Structure 1
């Protein structure tokens, strides 16, 4: 006999599982190639029950990125606390993970995915997303020992994620860039970001 009622604790467990499953799939295959059906089937619930948690796929996507932010901060702090790594090496490992992924990769939105999500979000949800993203970048820099003003935080956020997005876009989205120089371009961007972050850190720790 099918279950017709869930406790609040059970609903919260299912909601979290939907978010983590969605995030895992999006990190591996991208947002565009991750379907609602893939998510709810893997969790073991029905389409109707899925929609009782998230009115649309975009709502889950936003919550997945909110869920990912503390994980990224934890990874940044872990690298800074590693006694076997110097500051620059630890930050570089973090930046490379953002740009290239890895065994436990982060989900990064492509150009097309950002455009699609922006079209679906209300203005209030868009402002909230940007507000929480700014708070995340601020905390990320603090984890790396950098205290910066709002515009500097935004600049570094743009620099980091534009490097990751560019690496993801070559060659499929940007076919007329030189794909055989994609890694070289990413290396250049990462080193330039590291140099700038190091300058900011030295200002705080003369």
Structure 2
């Protein structure tokens, strides 16, 4: 007989699966993060997984969304009721987004990204207008933002962080940190007035 969960239990289990899935993804990568490993980590049977997520790809996509939600919580925590964060806070937050403990990019490969895109075409499509709107909303909460922003370049630089980390095996490892630092400085120069 299948297990029956209350709505509260189901949401708690879903959150545990997403958190455990992210930890497994960090440890094993997408290919080796199996449904069995996820369900074992939360003490459920394999078939119960499908009561929560229709496919492994949808589960990984939900982890990405879960991590984005955590990033928004951190964003609001930094603001702490203020309208805008300082340039220093904004830079620190951007570094957290792309290279912090909660970022998923270093644990996905370009092959993983292609699998997700193939399995989730409606969810994973690039929406330029949405990207620009998201960046604009984000920057409205920051001090020192340039006028006449080049949104497509900013969006491309943000994507470059993800791509560099997804293809880190192809990069010069000893220079990866310096490369990311250089990309951050370039991104900051497009977003903020340079400090004198």
Q: TM-score range by the shorter chain?
A: 0.7 to 0.9
- Alpha carbons of structure 1 residues 189 and 21: separation in structure 2 relative to 1, 3 Å: same
* 1:186 has 2:184 as partner: no
Alignment of 1:98-109 (within 5 A): 98-102=97-101, 105-108=102-105, 109=108
8 Å CA contact retained: 1:36, 1:57: yes
- Deviation, structure 1 residue 82: 11
- Alpha carbons of structure 1 residues 151 and 96: separation in structure 2 relative to 1, 3 Å: closer
Alignment of 1:1-206 (within 5 A): 4-81=3-80, 87-102=86-101, 105-108=102-105, 109-121=108-120, 123-127=121-125, 130=127, 134=131, 136-144=134-142, 152=151, 154-170=152-168, 172=169, 174=170, 177-199=171-193
8 Å CA contact retained: 1:69, 1:136: no
After superposition, the CA RMSD in angstroms is 3.5
8 Å CA contact retained: 2:161, 2:180: yes
Q: TM-score, normalised by structure 2?
A: 0.75
- Alpha carbons of structure 1 residues 193 and 62: separation in structure 2 relative to 1, 3 Å: same
Per-residue CA deviation, residues 117-163 of structure 1 (Å, 9 max, x unaligned), is 11212x33334x858973654543334356999971x5423312312
8 Å CA contact retained: 1:138, 1:148: no
- Alpha carbons of structure 1 residues 92 and 113: separation in structure 2 relative to 1, 3 Å: same
Q: TM-score, normalised by structure 1?
A: 0.72
- Alpha carbons of structure 1 residues 4 and 160: separation in structure 2 relative to 1, 3 Å: closer
Residue 6 of structure 1: SS of its match in structure 2? coil
Q: Aligned pair count?
A: 188
The structure 1 segments of at least 4 consecutive aligned residues displaced by more than 6 Å after TM superposition are 147-151
Unaligned runs of 5+ in 1: 202-206
